[in-house]
Structure formats: C-alpha cells, structure tokens
C-alpha cells in the first residue's frame, strides 16, 4: 500500500490545546509517524460542518492518555474509485461477498482508511497486522493488532451507516459507532445491560431513550473491543455509562466522541487509574484518502 507522507487533513473541534485528562497509561515512547491533531477534551454534542474542514492537522507529541480518533463520512464515496490494492486478499474476498453495494463500500472504504491511517502513524507502508490471543480460549482470534514493526501501537475500527471511525493509541483501545436504534430495539435490549445502565436509560425522557441507549451501547462495545472479548462477555457484567465514571471497570477510561446527529460514538482506553476520560485528538479522513491516487 501507499503510505502518504505528512499529517492527515482534518477538523479541529475547538482549536485549543489542553492538558491530559485524569488517569493515563504508563508514559509512552516518542510519538510515531507524522502524528496527530490539535488536542481537546471529548464533546458529546453532534458535530456540524467545520470552518476548518480543509486545514492540516498540526504535528504534536502524543500525551500519555490520548487517542487519535479519525472519522470518514461515506456520503458521496464512489466504489469504482476505491483503492483496493492496499487490502489483503482476504479483505478483498470478504468485500466481494457482500450482496448490497452499500455494505461492500462501507467495509472496503473502512479497511482502506485503517491501513492508510496506520501507515502514517507507523511511518511506513510495510507493516503486518494479526490477531491477539482470545482472552477466553487463548487462540489467535482476539482483537486485531499490529504485529510489526511496532506492536505498541494499538487500534480499533468501527463503522455504522455512513460513518467509519478509527481509533489509534499507545495502549489497548476500542471504538464503536452506532445509529440511534428504534424504540422497539431499546425495549428489547435494555434488560440485557448492567442494572445501573438500565437505570440510566429508563430514567431518560421517553423520546431521548434511543440516543441514551446508543451512548451506553457504544461505550459497552468500545470497552469489549478494547479488552478483546467482544460481545461474548456478558453485557450485564460491567458498568460503562457516563453518569457514574467511578463505577467503570478498573484500569479503563471511557469517553463519548463527536459524530453527526443521529449517531453515537465512544472510545475506551486502558489506563492505570480508574475514572477520568481519555484525551481525544480528532480529525476527518477525506474520501480522496481511500481512492486510487490521482483519481
């Protein structure tokens, strides 16, 4: 694949650089690759059009508790222009198996974007991805990992509707995005969650419950991706809601991240201290980054 040089073009949400949030992983080594965007604390409101959409993200060192969160909006992405040459044969086969074009485009664009983002972070277009051991059985079908050249770089990928989200950090990380579900889905799935999460959702006004559920669910999936179990771990075992951060699983911090209206998204990061939120560094991936160069 082609590793494009220079920082990712993207959006700065508040234009200010702030210090690290409470709690963070052990101090990492030097920042890798041409690096990251302007630092800011996470926001929960929906993101609107940005006045600096075409600005270039400033290269800065990664603070200990930071997560780079990149958003790709698939609206207007053309399948014929996607640069599938950067994908592994297995990824191309999986993409071809999708019957619906929108599913095929979503999967293909997401994996191209991930590989190009990792190439920039690792500062090389030659890297190997693999699977961590499964926490349950020990076999190599756990969460995706960087095998070489730098296994200390961790990442997570999520896509929902027209959105693709990528998280990259110096510690195990999970990211998830979801569209607000139908009221029937909320009613069916809420009983499977932690009792305190059920209380958070059921305590919201009825018209707000779908989005409250989506916020809880994305936090849950982000955490389960981070620990590597996925949904095989009981959904009622851990509290990850926003209302009671001190009840979060030991060693993990969680935060919502800004996405367009109608969606929710969250990030979970392994940290040595309970509570607090990871510092999110956000940017947009322009659709040209998933196209064949020059197209």
Quote helix, strand, coil % in the chain, to nearest 5.
Answer: 30, 20, 50
With 0-12 / 13-18 / 19 or more C-beta atoms within 10 angstroms meaning exposed / middle / buried, residue 93 is exposed
User: What confidence score (pLDDT) does residue 209 get?
Assistant: 97
pLDDT value at 35 more than 90: no
At the topology level of CATH, where does 66-290 sit?
A: Ribosomal Protein L22; Chain A (3.90.470)
Q: Is the peptide bond before 199 cis (omega within 30 degrees of 0)?
A: no
pLDDT digits (tens, 9 = 90+) for 222-272: 999 999 988 889 999 999 998 888 899 989 999 999 999 999 999 999 986
Q: State the Cα–Cα distance between residues 20 and 169, nearest whole angstrom.
A: 14
Task: Work out the mean pLDDT of the chain and round it to a whole number.
Answer: 80
Do residues 217 and 243 touch, judged by C-beta distance below 8 A?
no
* Ranges 16-25, 55-64, 235-244, most confident: 235-244
User: What confidence score (pLDDT) does residue 46 get?
Assistant: 33
pLDDT value at 20 more than 70: no
pLDDT value at 28 more than 60: no
Instruction: Quickly state the pLDDT bin for 278 (edges 50, 70, 90).
Output: confident
Do residues 228 and 142 touch, judged by C-beta distance below 8 A?
yes
- Cα three-residue angle 236-238-244, rounded to 5 degrees: 115
Task: Please indicate whether residue 234 or residue 11 has the higher confidence score (pLDDT).
Answer: 234
User: What confidence score (pLDDT) does residue 36 get?
Assistant: 26
Q: State the Cα–Cα distance between residues 65 and 19, nearest whole angstrom.
A: 10
pLDDT digits (tens, 9 = 90+) for 99-117: 999 999 999 999 999 999 9
User: What confidence score (pLDDT) does residue 8 get?
Assistant: 40
**N- to C-terminal Cα separation, the chain:** 16
Least confident of 2-16, 135-149, 178-192, 221-235: 2-16
For residue 287 the two structure tokens come to: 């659709």
User: What confidence score (pLDDT) does residue 215 get?
Assistant: 97
User: What confidence score (pLDDT) does residue 273 get?
Assistant: 63
Task: Please indicate whether residue 215 or residue 10 has the higher confidence score (pLDDT).
Answer: 215
Task: Please indicate whether residue 256 or residue 46 has the higher confidence score (pLDDT).
Answer: 256
Do residues 214 and 263 touch, judged by C-beta distance below 8 A?
yes
Do residues 59 and 15 touch, judged by C-beta distance below 8 A?
no
pLDDT value at 274 more than 70: no
Those residues whose C-beta lies under 8 Å from the C-beta of residue 193, and which sit 6 or more positions away, are 201, 216, 220, 235, 236
Residues 6-10, mean pLDDT to the nearest whole number: 36
Based on DSSP, count helices (H) and strands (E) in the chain, helices before strands: 5, 9
pLDDT value at 71 more than 50: yes
pLDDT value at 83 more than 60: yes
């Amino acid at each position: 694949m082609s590793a494009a040089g220079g920082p990712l073009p993207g959006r700065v949400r508040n234009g200010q650089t702030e210090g690290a949030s409470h709690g963070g992983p052990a101090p990492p080594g030097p920042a890798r690759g041409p690096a990251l965007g302007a630092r800011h604390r996470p926001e929960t409101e929906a993101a609107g059009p940005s006045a600096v959409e075409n600005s270039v993200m400033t290269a800065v060192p990664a603070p200990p508790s930071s997560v780079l969160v990149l958003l790709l909006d698939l609206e207007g992405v053309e399948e014929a222009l996607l640069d599938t040459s950067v994908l592994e044969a297995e990824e191309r086969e999986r993409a071809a198996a999708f019957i619906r074009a929108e599913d095929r485009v979503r999967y293909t664009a997401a994996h191209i974007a991930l590989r190009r983002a990792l190439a920039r972070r690792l500062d090389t277009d030659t890297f190997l991805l693999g699977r961590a051991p499964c926490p349950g059985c020990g076999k190599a079908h756990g969460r995706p990992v960087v095998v070489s050249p730098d296994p200390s770089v961790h990442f997570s990928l999520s896509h929902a509707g027209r959105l693709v989200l990528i998280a990259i950090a110096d510690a195990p990380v999970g990211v998830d995005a979801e569209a607000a579900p139908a009221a029937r889905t909320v009613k069916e799935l809420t009983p499977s969650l932690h009792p305190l999460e059920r209380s958070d959702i059921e305590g919201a006004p009825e018209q707000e419950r779908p989005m409250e559920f989506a916020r809880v669910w994305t936090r849950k999936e982000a955490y389960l991706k981070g620990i590597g179990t996925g949904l095989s771990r009981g959904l009622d075992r851990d509290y990850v809601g926003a209302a009671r951060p001190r009840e979060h699983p030991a060693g993990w911090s969680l935060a919502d991240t800004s996405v367009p209206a109608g969606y929710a998204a969250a990030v979970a990061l392994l940290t040595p201290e309970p509570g607090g939120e990871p510092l999110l560094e956000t940017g947009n991936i322009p659709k040209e980054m998933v196209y064949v160069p020059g197209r």
